[in-house]
Amino acid sequence: MDLALRKIDSFSKDEPIESHLCVLFEQFCCQAQAEGLKILPYRTSPLENLRRRSENHKERVLENFRSYYEICAETIKEGFHLRDSLQLAWRAFGKLKLLPPSDIFDKIDLDCDVIEIYSPEGIQIFRNLRFFDICSYTLDEIFAYDWPELYSRELAITQGILSLVEKMFEGKIQVTTPANIEIHTVKEIFSEERNEYIIEQKLFSPVLRVNKTIGGVLGTFSILGRTFGNVESGREGRDSSGHTGHGCL
């Protein structure tokens, strides 16, 4: 993965942002494939969605994804798999200069839970590889659109999550807190697969910077079942029905 970083560092200052992102997206997808996970950098034309976004948007995507890519590269360089959520998360906290709550890893199923960290601006700045098990969008699509454009779910569920997260950013909740959100359905709005997922939102936790100001909110959820087109699979391979879901913001 270091080769991709060296390549983009060799680009001239006039090289478009899309060139940097293409290199990082493509190499990340190759590495994910080595971990048994199929992720597409884009559909047909390279970054056909991101190309239509503003330069400011693309610069923010490059900054955030390069940071994530470097976290992944460091994890591999140290001899760990990207599927190792504990090692990946530890490196993320260090890279992002965030302090994990002392009890957080005791409350996460590191083999099964999806782990996300969102910035105060509502931007997803970290996700473990389990996240991509519930996402059939390409990287181009994920980073070109906001989450409400990618996924749908009941408004009351979204409002409940946002209320809890906002209280953490406001400092009203300063400890790891159970989500207390009912199992619910989230549907991919425009992906080719139109997948749906049954999830259980588990917990949220404020994450502090080294100066003790809040730098993000960590959220976890587990996948209870999923529907691929007309083929549905549930917990432990059994058929399931009802609601499906995705992550936090």
User: Tens of pLDDT along 190-227?
Assistant: 999 999 999 999 999 999 999 999 999 999 999 999 88
Q: What is the CB-side half-sphere exposure of residue 208 using CA atoms within 13 A?
A: 13
Confidence class of residue 237 from pLDDT cuts 50, 70 and 90?
Answer: very low
Is the per-residue pLDDT at 239 higher than 90?
no
**Is 85 inside a domain boundary?**
yes
User: What percentage of the chain reaches a pLDDT higher than 70?
Assistant: 92
Is 0.75 topped by the overall pTM?
A: yes
Q: How far apart are CA 115 and CA 127, in angstroms?
A: 6
pLDDT tens for residues 79-129?
999 999 999 999 999 999 999 888 899 999 999 999 999 999 989 999 999
**Is 13 inside a domain boundary?**
yes
**Is 26 inside a domain boundary?**
yes
**Is 226 inside a domain boundary?**
yes
Please tell me the total count of domains within the chain. 1
What pLDDT shows up at residue 80?
Answer: 96
Q: How far apart are CA 178 and CA 187, in angstroms?
A: 23
**Is 246 inside a domain boundary?**
no
- Provide the sign of the torsion angle of the four alpha carbons 105, 78, 117, 35, taken in this order: negative
Q: How far apart are CA 209 and CA 148, in angstroms?
A: 28
**Is 249 inside a domain boundary?**
no
CA distances from 107 to 110, 131, 177, 196, 211 (A): 9, 18, 10, 26, 25
Domain that holds residue 97: 2-237
Around Cβ 84, how many Cβ atoms within 10 Å? 18
Angle at 88 between CA 211 and CA 176, to 5 degrees: 50
Which residues, other chains included, contact 69 with Cβ-Cβ below 8 Å and sequence gap of 6+? Answer: 1, 4, 5, 24, 27, 28
Selected residue with higher pLDDT from 229 and 201: 201
SS3 content of the chain, % helix, strand, coil (to 5): 40, 20, 40
What pLDDT shows up at residue 194?
Answer: 92
Q: What is the CB-side half-sphere exposure of residue 182 using CA atoms within 13 A?
A: 10
CA distances from 200 to 70, 93, 131, 240 (A): 30, 24, 14, 14
Window from 16-20, 131-135, 162-166, 172-176 with minimum mean pLDDT: 131-135
Mean pLDDT rounded to a whole number for the chain? 89
CATH number of the domain enclosing 206: 3.30.450.20
**Is 48 inside a domain boundary?**
yes
**Is 187 inside a domain boundary?**
yes
Confidence class of residue 229 from pLDDT cuts 50, 70 and 90?
Answer: low
